[in-house]
């Protein structure tokens, strides 16, 4: 066989491999997107149609009644719009304050030499290995003693002191910042805190956005913590309100699917608008040991 023939066969094999790879990836993508498609289509169907005919790939008649039911006053003081607002008012301040203190701690671990630095950081990493179910009962007893039950304090206050996971990733990112910048800032008269505030923090924006996005998603989807500490229906965040909503509309499948679409929409918008920063922050966070 000539060399030209071998090269031609090699090109054919490479193209066939690429075609097979893209076909397989397309299949997996469709499998992932299929449930979302079913949810969206079902949310636009008539309630009678879903009860009579079951599953369908396309609605016979587009009906927005499922979405309208979300914004109507419902029983037991459950309001999806109010629950969404409660979620934003509890999660966003927690994420912002927690990111600040996590970054401050990460700056200390990454750029400050003090006795016990490695030991303290090892202890911090060890706390990441402790399952949350182990600390659930002690935390409940402590919060009960503080009178925090049926308040937003158990949801917001602990997170405002930072997160071990966030400290770890931010430390990895800050270690990649040249020490010359810090030394130049100190020569110009900036103290450690002002160096962090005016030099380090602006450079950490990609990592902060990525960690903030992950933190926001975790808080947005948190169901167990509000379930334990909040009993007032008017204080329910989105996930608890949706659970009650599904209980009221157990036979109204379009309303259930519409509530799922409304719940997923903010996270989808956030990811699509911040995807570049999310990927950049995750990639750079793991570059330094």
Domains of the chain: 3-68 (no CATH), 69-285 (1.10.3720.10)
Length of the chain: 289
Q: How high is the pLDDT of residue 24? A: 92
Residue 280 has a pLDDT of 61
Quote the pTM value.
0.80
pLDDT of residue 105: 92
Tokens of residue 179, six digits:
């020490």
List, in sequence order, the alpha helices (H) in the chain: 3-43, 47-53, 65-70, 80-111, 117-127, 132-146, 153-160, 164-175, 179-187, 192-195, 201-203, 205-220, 224-229, 238-248, 253-285
Give dist(CA 114, CA 254) in Å, integer: 59
User: Rounded distance, CA 190 to CA 270, Å?
Assistant: 35
Residue 30's Cβ-count burial label (10 Å; 0-12, 13-18, 19+) is exposed
pLDDT at 288: 45
Q: Residue 158: which of 109, 105, 97 has the closest Cα?
A: 97
Within 8 A by CB and 6+ apart from 81, the residues are: 70, 71
Q: Which of 237, 278, 256 is nearest to 91 (CA)?
A: 237
Place of tokens 């931010």: 170
Instruction: List the chain pLDDT tens, one digit each, 289 residues.
Output: 566 666 666 777 788 888 888 999 999 988 888 888 888 888 888 777 777 777 778 888 788 877 887 777 655 567 788 888 999 999 999 999 999 999 999 999 988 888 888 898 889 888 888 887 888 888 889 999 998 999 999 999 999 998 888 898 888 888 888 888 888 888 888 888 888 888 888 888 888 888 888 889 889 988 888 999 998 888 889 888 888 776 665 667 788 888 888 888 888 888 788 777 666 655 554 444 4
Separation between Cα atoms, residue 186 and residue 142, nearest integer Å: 42
What angle (nearest 5°) sits at the alpha carbon of residue 158, between those of residues 156 and 164? 125
Structure tokens at 175: 């270690």
Q: Tell me what pLDDT residue 8 has.
A: 66
Q: What is the C-alpha separation between 276 and 283, in angstroms, rounded?
A: 11
Q: What is the DSSP string of 179-195?
A: HHHHHHHHHTT--HHHH
């Amino acid at each position: 066989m000539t060399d030209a023939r071998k090269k031609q066969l090699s090109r054919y094999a490479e193209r066939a491999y690429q075609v097979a790879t893209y076909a397989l990836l397309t299949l997996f993508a469709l499998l992932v997107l299929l449930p979302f498609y079913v949810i969206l289509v079902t949310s636009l169907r008539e309630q009678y149609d879903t009860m009579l005919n079951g599953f369908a790939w396309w609605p016979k008649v587009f009906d927005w009644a499922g979405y309208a039911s979300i914004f109507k006053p419902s029983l037991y003081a459950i309001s999806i719009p109010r629950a969404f607002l409660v979620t934003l008012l509890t999660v966003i301040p927690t994420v912002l304050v927690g990111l600040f203190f996590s970054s401050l701690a990460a700056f200390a671990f990454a750029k400050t030499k003090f006795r016990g630095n490695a030991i303290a950081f090892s202890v911090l990493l060890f706390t990441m290995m402790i399952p949350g179910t182990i600390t659930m009962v002690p935390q409940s007893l402590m919060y009960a003693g503080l009178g925090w039950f049926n308040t937003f304090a158990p949801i917001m206050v602990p997170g405002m002191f930072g997160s071990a996971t966030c400290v770890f990733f931010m430390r990895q990112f800050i270690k990649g910042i040249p020490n010359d910048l810090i030394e130049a800032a100190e020569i110009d008269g900036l103290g450690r805190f002002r160096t962090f505030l005016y030099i380090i923090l602006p450079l950490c924006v990609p990592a902060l956005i990525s960690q903030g996005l992950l933190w926001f998603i975790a808080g947005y989807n948190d169901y167990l913590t509000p379930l334990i500490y909040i009993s007032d229906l008017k204080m329910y965040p989105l996930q608890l309100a949706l659970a009650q909503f599904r209980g009221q509309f157990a036979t109204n499948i379009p309303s259930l699917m519409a509530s799922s679409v409304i719940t997923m929409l903010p996270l989808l918008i956030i990811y699509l608008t911040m995807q570049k920063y999310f990927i950049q922050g995750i990639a750079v966070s793991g570059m330094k040991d």
